[in-house]
Structure 1
């Protein structure tokens, strides 16, 4: 057959495409497209914006053959959707069936005013030393340029913040292409964490930056680091987030089980929230788990997170020591790989195992905790998370229902708070007077 020889795109070049935009509680609007194979993601968003002018839409969904909703957020995902639809149309034509329109379901974000829960604002106006979104996109391919610019404008529209209002203090760390500073925001009097990233970086890092901004902008959870906004100055982008005065778990020595239990509850809730948005973290590790003196625990650094299109991914990113065996072997992976990283992270912080021992995980048996030092529920939790076969690891609902998590799911932040304060005080006393 002709379509088998040419492929779905070439075979459908002259076919009119009808896209049915489903409107919540209001029926649908049909949009006729005469050049379907050339259609871009931004084109669809523009039309959705006309259909739903009061909503801020950053993505849309379609249904696959199983009825599962697949999210489209880029030109690449757009192409995958069209390829799937055209293949379906060809089958319908061969079978003499009526051609159904391509149905899409806009995903509208909350209005910026609702999302800006911290009361801070971001300045999106270009000043003498400030540039707008093309500054990050000049070296990107044209499609990515337009996509990134459009998404970044929505992200930066979150409020008002600029370089002049920031007073940088201490350096908190380095990584993911940038340096993180502790800073003071003069108008609000808030202490922030500001990640400053030079834009003279690789295309891959630029994509990671966009990924992190997009996910921070999208998330609204007490277990995910708060996002205040971002701004450009010369060849730098500064990403302003919540400051956690306890730092990350990797700087703490052996964490007692009754404390780690409460931390585990928060981390599992944070991951479950991300997974509910079809987002893999892909870099779960102690340095991406933050605590503060109020006893709060939050996940950070989504620089290598990915939007789950069909619950699997193949790219090799993250930190090797915490990677699940299937990722190191280059196999497909999903939520269960984050579960492995969760288990190995807790194993490290509860008994201070050197990472070199944790890296031998592909051809050898999974690491195990010493018997007698920890409770049975905790041992079982770690064992389940670190099953060699991904499907044998707990699903999100099984994690939340595990006896170890349920035991410490009491909302008692005081336990973590007292522990963090005590450790910080011990550090100060060891350092002595300045």
Structure 2
């Protein structure tokens, strides 16, 4: 019979198991953080979009040969964007070249998404005209916006900001009505032209590539504009509503335009942990007291920590701050 062993002394227990005094980061469940619902693909019998510059009946090689590259207008981890001229009519376009050769299943998913994007037709969403497969490299022909992106833009006049916000919301509400979630609303994905038309760009394909090429990463680039519940899936009982997430990102972007700086107390280029703490563990940023009551309330309607409390894009279009825009829609 084995003798009964005495319990370990407190001193030995302390040495055997040291308390963990570090702050654990939340578990990031990619399946919850970045769902990718896709609407049904458009009918293959539908007529080509009227705005398409190059007929889909023309072979990709011939169509691509009619495009003359002018200069590079942007680049990132996923690809490079060039300004190109369509020689037959001298019309400018943007050509996004997506890096890398992709497996067949990835390519099929990208092609399906681009077909959906080609069906999108709204004055405040950048038009996707066509896709080319050039030596295994995917190239997407997009509407060209001669004013570039809104990154770094400071808009202190509320009347001007109201008009910009109305245009972005109009495009976002259209996407949401068609069950398309952007997931990457931020100043660099908001483009403007010389007539001050603002349009939403860069949605769809980059999300597919991010998930397929790096399934452990829930984002493309910075998390600075992501909603708290998308960064930390422990929030909101693990549920992520992409539409509410887009509204949060819009609110951060609009407040940044007004302030002329990133609205959180950290750099938007900061490390993941710093941004996570600022976005998920602090109160949402607010418009300053010097701003109008309408603008302050508008920002608060976007930047609610509790996703169900955020207004939808359609509701925000009826907000007093948006209604005071003096520029009529479509003008």
The unaligned stretches of length 5 or more in structure 2 are 1-36, 209-216, 269-274
Higher percent of residues as helix: 1
1:120 aligns with 54
2:16 aligns with none
The unaligned stretches of length 5 or more in structure 1 are 1-69, 75-106, 131-160, 307-314, 415-434
SS of aligned partner of 1:112: coil
| Residues 246-276 of structure 1: per-residue CA shift (max 9 Å, x gap) | 1111042345322221111110010100000
Q: Distance in 2 between matches of 1:71 and 1:238?
A: 21
Match of residue 299, structure 1, among 189, 194, 200? 200
Higher percent of residues as strand: 1
Q: Distance in 2 between matches of 1:327 and 1:239?
A: 28
- TM-aligned CA deviation for residue 409 of structure 1: 6.2
1:366 corresponds to 2:273: no
State whether residues 199 and 206 of structure 1, in contact with CA within 8 Å, keep that contact through their aligned partners in structure 2.
no
The 1:120/1:193 distance shift into structure 2, 3 A limit, reads: same
Q: Distance in 2 between matches of 1:208 and 1:370?
A: 44
1:143 aligns with none
| Residues 36-71 of structure 1: per-residue CA shift (max 9 Å, x gap) | xxxxxxxxxxxxxxxxxxxxxxxxxxxxxxxxxx97
Q: Distance in 2 between matches of 1:111 and 1:256?
A: 44
Q: TM-score normalized by structure 2?
A: 0.73
The 1:176/1:256 distance shift into structure 2, 3 A limit, reads: farther
1:317 corresponds to 2:234: no
1:432 aligns with none
Matched residues, number: 270
Q: TM-score normalized by structure 1?
A: 0.56
SS of aligned partner of 2:140: strand
| Residues 370-413 of structure 1: per-residue CA shift (max 9 Å, x gap) | 211x2211111011100100011102332111101111163277
Match of residue 396, structure 1, among 295, 301, 313? 313
1:329 corresponds to 2:247: no
1:381 aligns with 298
- TM-aligned CA deviation for residue 285 of structure 1: 0.6
2:118 aligns with 217
2:258 aligns with 350
State whether residues 177 and 201 of structure 1, in contact with CA within 8 Å, keep that contact through their aligned partners in structure 2.
no
